[in-house]
């Protein structure tokens, strides 16, 4: 049911001729009530789904903006359990699919089986675990499958053809195409030209799911250009900064760039 909710939401957006927009937010940054406020705002603004980050002490793939948001959240005492419990209470008001992005360690601490059952009860449709390599994913895959939660895979610019094929075939919900080499965060120089088109073509060839691009996207212009080469975009750092600065209209402008 929950995985299906994500598949359906993605299809609905794409069939209507729009591109998918998935914002990433850090759970517990500004306290949990801020999480509720952000989810409801983004849902109202028309995003297809939301990626909810769980703060972690060693976030190896995160750039400065997300690291800082994670630190603030940890100061509020946020944990994976607290986030799932909170989302469970929020279920009646959340219509769009939610994806949890967490590192492997908090999942181990939680207990893999318990995590999967509780995630389902909290209405989670998919998970992203960036430090879980495809080769080790059977650790959790069956438990997620039992609970109908999608395990979303990341492909990177440096993935070989062979590896990209494996990752693309294994990904559920959508395939996360990382558009830069390095960590998350805004960049003025995300490739929006031929290089990107070529990369997306390579990925799309192998993928059975929508392909969404993420890492370093921060302007409506980039959203339009990158969105044109794939099925949509994921934006984290810029959303976190704009929310913190109270610039909600600029968040809406980013989202609207996928709707035209
Ligand atoms: O912040 P950016 O550059 O917009 O990138 C998206 C990203 O934040 C989000 O999807 C994410 C946050 N932490 C991650 C770790 C790995 C993969 C993805 C992520």
Domain limits of the chain?
Answer: 2-256
Q: 184 pLDDT exceeds 80?
A: no
Conformational region of residue 241, where left means phi above 0, alpha means psi within -120 to 50, and beta covers everything else: alpha
**pLDDT-derived band of residue 182, with 50, 70 and 90 as boundaries?**
confident
Q: Is 22 exposed, middle or buried (0-12, 13-18, 19+ CB in 10 A)?
A: buried
Decide: 190 in ligand 1 pocket, CB within 6 A: no
According to the per-residue pLDDT averaged within each range, which of 54-63, 186-195, 231-240 is highest?
Answer: 231-240
Decide: 21 in ligand 1 pocket, CB within 6 A: no
Report the mean per-residue pLDDT for the chain: 94
Q: What superfamily would CATH give domain 2-256?
A: Aldolase class I (3.20.20.70)
Written as one string, the DSSP assignment of 207-235 is -SS-EEEESS--SHHHHHHHHHHSSEEEE
Helix ranges restricted to H, 76-110: 80-90, 104-110
**What is the SS3 assignment for 24?**
strand
Q: Can you tell me the mean pLDDT for 241-245?
A: 98
**178 Cα–ligand 1 center, Å:** 9
ipTM, two decimals, is: 0.98
* Interatomic CA distance for residues 183 and 229, integer angstroms: 22
* Interatomic CA distance for residues 236 and 29, integer angstroms: 13
Q: What pTM does this model have?
A: 0.96
pLDDT in tens, 64-83: 999 999 999 999 999 999 99
**62 Cα–ligand 1 center, Å:** 7
């Amino acid at each position: 049911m929950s995985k299906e909710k994500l598949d359906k939401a993605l299809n609905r957006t794409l069939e209507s001729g729009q591109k998918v927009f998935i914002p990433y937010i850090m759970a517990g940054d500004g306290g949990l009530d801020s999480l509720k406020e952000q989810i409801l705002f983004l849902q109202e603004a028309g995003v297809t789904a939301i990626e909810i980050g769980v703060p972690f002490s060693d976030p190896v793939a995160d750039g400065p903006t997300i690291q800082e948001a994670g630190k603030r959240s940890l100061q509020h005492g946020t944990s994976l359990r607290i986030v799932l419990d909170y989302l469970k209470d929020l279920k009646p008001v959340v219509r769009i699919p939610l994806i949890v992005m967490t590192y492997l360690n908090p999942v181990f601490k939680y207990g893999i089986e318990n995590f999967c059952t509780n995630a389902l009860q909290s209405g989670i449709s998919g998970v992203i675990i960036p430090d879980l390599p495809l080769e080790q994913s059977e650790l959790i895959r069956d438990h997620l499958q039992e609970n109908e939660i999608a395990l979303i895979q990341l492909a990177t610019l440096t993935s070989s053809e062979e590896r990209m094929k494996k990752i693309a075939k294994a990904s559920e919900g959508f395939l996360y195409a990382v558009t830069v080499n390095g960590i998350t965060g805004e960049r003025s120089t995300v490739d929006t030209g031929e290089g990107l088109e070529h990369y997306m073509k390579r990925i799309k060839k192998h993928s059975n799911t929508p392909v969404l691009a993420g890492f370093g996207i921060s302007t409506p212009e980039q959203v339009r250009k990158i969105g044109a080469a794939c099925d949509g975009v994921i934006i984290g750092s810029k959303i976190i900064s704009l929310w913190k600065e109270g610039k909600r209209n600029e968040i809406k402008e980013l989202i609207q760039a996928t709707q035209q």
